[in-house]
Amino acid sequence: MKPQNGATNRFKKLARQNVKLARRLDQGRQLAAMVQLRDLTLNFGFSLAIGEFLYLNGGWYVTHAALLRLASRRRCAGIQVEQVDQSSDPLAGRWVFKATVFKSPSSKGFVGYGDADPSNVSSMVRGAELRIAETRAVNRALRKAYGIGLCSVEELGAFSSQPRSATIPSSSNRSYSSNASGNASSNGNPRLRDQLCLVIRQYNLDPNLVKAYAADFCGTEALSGASRELVESFIAHLSLAAKENRDALVCKLNSYSQPMEARS
């Protein structure tokens, strides 16, 4: 569904902002990727600045947070999620969920399935397969409901192989939590924790709100569960957002001081 006239101008402005930011971050260097970014923005109103897009392995991916915000903007009537018992195996850590998105009270629903097991999730989130499967099911159902052919980050089974982002050069495929302590990494570069703390101090940001925002940005329950590439991408995004418009960033961070129900 195309945006109404009232939203069209906002989306056009957002598309220009997204393309400008993508170029500054050296994302989407190929013309096709930039055209895709613009089209996705015009159709769905996703924002690169707040982390609703990620550019991984030469392609754009949408985040779980972006899909939920889209559903809220489109006044989604509800999302029903249920476990598929016959396909799940709790002892093996394999979970399958079915999600149904109702765009309106009279909608018959759009169905999506999501599965997760130790073989298709990152080692950093082992033990959370049930929640990951549920998120994947919701993402697929939302993408079907709103006609989004773009895969979501959380659906990537490649999470376990640590996909490299084209946004930020990475010196290691190790996870954030395994590099979180100490003052320097093995190759002499600052650790991610120190990089993030530096941005927080430089722009006088609330560390607890930044931590909550980071988890939402990375699509994980806690920042420690995010891959190194996602954390690097968040740090770059946070630094650029603070530099471009600190007041807007602070306003965004303050939304994370509210209860989850109030924000969703």
Mean pLDDT, residues 32-40 taken together: 86
> Helices 192-202 & 228-244, crossing angle to 10 degrees?
10
Query: Is residue 213 scored above 60 in pLDDT?
Result: yes
Mean pLDDT, residues 143-147 taken together: 95
Predicted pLDDT at 110? 97
What residue type is 73 in one-letter code? R
Predicted pLDDT at 134? 95
Predicted pLDDT at 182? 32
List helix spans (H) across 54-126.
Answer: 64-73
Query: Is residue 35 scored above 80 in pLDDT?
Result: yes
Residue 68 pLDDT class (50, 70, 90 cuts): very high
Return the minimum-mean-pLDDT range out of 40-49, 94-103, 188-197.
Answer: 188-197
The model's pTM: 0.59
Predicted pLDDT at 259? 54
Predicted pLDDT at 78? 95
Q: How do residues 71-88 score in pLDDT, each as one tens digit?
A: 999 999 999 999 999 999
Predicted pLDDT at 192? 74
126 or 234: which carries more pLDDT confidence? 234
Predicted pLDDT at 25? 74
Predicted pLDDT at 29? 59
Mean pLDDT, residues 138-165 taken together: 76
Query: DSSP string covering 136-156, please?
Result: HHHHHHHHHHTT--SPBGGG-
Q: How do residues 165-187 score in pLDDT, each as one tens digit?
A: 333 333 333 333 333 333 334 33
Return the minimum-mean-pLDDT range out of 45-49, 92-96, 159-163, 168-172.
Answer: 168-172
Mean pLDDT, residues 35-54 taken together: 87
66 or 32: which carries more pLDDT confidence? 66
Predicted pLDDT at 108? 93
Mean pLDDT of the chain: 78
Strands, sheet with 78-83, edge to edge from the N-terminal-most edge strand: 78-83, 95-102, 110-116
Give CA–CA dist 199/36, Å, rounded: 31
Percent of the chain with pLDDT over 70: 80
Question: Which residues, at least 6 apart from 130, have a Cβ–Cβ distance to it below 8 Å?
Answer: 95, 116
Domain boundaries, the chain: 166-264
